[in-house]
Structure 1
Amino acid sequence: MADYDLDGKTAIVTGASSGLGEQFSYALAESGANVVLASRSIEELEANAEKIESDFDVAALAVQTDVLKESHIMRVVNTAVDEFGKLDLMVNNVGNYVSKPLIEQTLEDWHYAIDLNLTSAFLGSREAAKVMIPKRSGVIVNMASTFAYGATQFPVVGYYAAKGGVVSLTKALAVELGEYNIRVNAIAPGFFPTDQSIDAMTNDEIRKNMIEPRTALPMLAEKEWIRGAICFLASDDARYITGHVLAVDGGWLAF
């Protein structure tokens, strides 16, 4: 994403071992940002960091992180500040779901969805804000979903609730942190070929009956197509945008 100038910026990306987090990391690095990659999967993180440093003239650090542990979030933020002197961008990207009918969902399933999708965004935003407020500058990007705006036939009740919460959290933080010139936005992806979605996207029945009818454009997404969204929101081109949820969904929310 060389069209956006992020030279000298420092970014943290959670969930950076694979999927959209991996795409975000590469895009930010290509635009000139130093990146701190956070995930529980340290081997994949280290491989991604090595590739980034090989391909781009930036630094990339891999920090093994459980985003539901406060001490881990504090550590990854402190690592960014210690290594690069600042934190310009926090990308709260972790998310997943439990797919079961409501009456089969356990309380543990519910807490898993809420904590992984919503609580992780709260913790990441809070710790990032602590270092952004004193310098009165920064960008936070949360990971929402088109599922935040309405249900489908997919039985992922906790995910719907959590992603709706991410949208509200994003707007609340945009209002609270605006006076410090900290922008808070979210990205709402449609179906992208990640580990979470690939089974549905490659299932002919699900794709033809549940995904394609809600996709206005005549194609499904390639994973690289998410890259421009994060670079735009991180850049000065979006300097007057906050509290916004950018849908990258092929027209899903147009229906």
Structure 2
Amino acid sequence: MGELTGRTAVVTGAGGGMGLAIVEDLAARGVRVVAVDVKEAPARLPEGVRYHRGDIADPMLAPAVVASARTISREGNVDMLVNAAGVAWFADPGLPPPPYVDGSIVDVDPEAWRRVLDINLTGAMLMARAALPVMREHRSGVMVHIASIAGLRLADGALDAYQVSKAGLISLSRGLAAQYGPEGIRSNTVCPGAIVTPMIAGIYENDPERERSMAGRVPLRRVGTTSDVCSAVTYLLSDEASFVTGTDLVVDGGWLTNMG
């Protein structure tokens, strides 16, 4: 996938986890990356990556990020947008307490509901809306949005705000594909299953049996890694997927086949 060299990408949620892994992968492939997150820039941010710190739900952030990306692009384009920013707030003894706790709609804090949708869905919409005029001007561009199998099928437990946000993101992506495909713009989602990220690694370290139990529910008998997600994202961004749009690439080791 060497054809990615020299292209320009915006990646949200780049302060850690999947987002940072995607930034590292793209930078290693010679992509000019503008990274975005509400957190401070991570220490291991690849050299040459431009970092913007801000709230993804702030309507003023996306236009500034897109303008920044155009300044480092060879042709003033935003070739790729990866919406990887996302939160899942649930209480767990193996994790630091979240700012709010998601759950059933009868229990969830309304502020938790609002913030989850702001970050997981509205932020992606704002980034897409800012990038679209540039992509339409150049009649090319590709978007990949990190959704979840929870957006396709009922998830374990009650995380209603998270599930609704991911289902909405899938719908948003399909709408973008249908509307802007005639102008050479593609949009797809990657829907991960159980993936070990820095956020939840501590859970499995403290309770190895929990990881074994999760792996036992997956036909491939392991949990996923950020590398698994990166591979799917890179494929969808590449010219090898030039005839792929409006689809949802599930990266879950087959877990979805066992869900009701």
1:20 alignment counterpart: 18
Distance 2:201 2:150 in 1: 16
Residues 1:97 and 2:126 aligned together: no
**Structure with the higher fraction of residues in helix conformation:** 1
**Offset of 1:78 from its aligned partner?**
0.5
- One-letter code aligned to 1:27: D
2:60 alignment counterpart: 71
TM-superposition CA deviations, 1:50-97 (whole Å, max 9, x none): xx22xxxxx311111211011111111110012222210011111112
Distance 1:37 1:176 in 2: 26
2:146 alignment counterpart: 143
Distance 2:246 2:203 in 1: 31
**Offset of 1:243 from its aligned partner?**
0.4
**Offset of 1:252 from its aligned partner?**
1.4
Residues 1:107 and 2:110 aligned together: yes
- One-letter code aligned to 2:69: A
Distance 2:240 2:212 in 1: 37
1:81 alignment counterpart: 70
2:31 alignment counterpart: 33
**Offset of 1:198 from its aligned partner?**
3.0
Moved over 6 A (4+): none
Distance 1:254 1:134 in 2: 41
Aligned length: 243
Query: Aligned with 1:17: secondary structure?
Result: coil
CA contact (8 A) 1:36 1:60 kept: yes
2:257 alignment counterpart: 254
**Offset of 1:195 from its aligned partner?**
3.9
2:99 alignment counterpart: none
1:219 alignment counterpart: 222
Q: Which runs of 5+ in 1 are unaligned?
A: 54-58
- One-letter code aligned to 1:89: M
CA contact (8 A) 1:190 1:249 kept: yes
Residue among 177, 182, 185 paired with 1:179: 182
**Offset of 1:230 from its aligned partner?**
1.4
**Offset of 1:200 from its aligned partner?**
5.0
CA RMSD of aligned residues (A): 1.8
Distance 1:76 1:179 in 2: 25
CA contact (8 A) 1:11 1:36 kept: yes
Residues 1:229 and 2:232 aligned together: yes
Query: Aligned with 2:196: secondary structure?
Result: coil
Distance 2:113 2:194 in 1: 22
**Offset of 1:190 from its aligned partner?**
1.2
CA contact (8 A) 2:219 2:253 kept: yes
Distance 2:17 2:59 in 1: 24
Q: Which runs of 5+ in 2 are unaligned?
A: 91-101
**Offset of 1:37 from its aligned partner?**
1.0
Residues 217-226 or 162-171, more deviating = 217-226
2:243 alignment counterpart: 240
Distance 2:18 2:156 in 1: 23
CA contact (8 A) 2:188 2:236 kept: yes
TM-superposition CA deviations, 1:124-167 (whole Å, max 9, x none): 11111121001100001111101112223332111011101111
CA contact (8 A) 1:96 1:196 kept: no
1:56 alignment counterpart: none
- Structure 1 35/16 Cα, relative in aligned 2: closer, same or farther at 3 Å? same
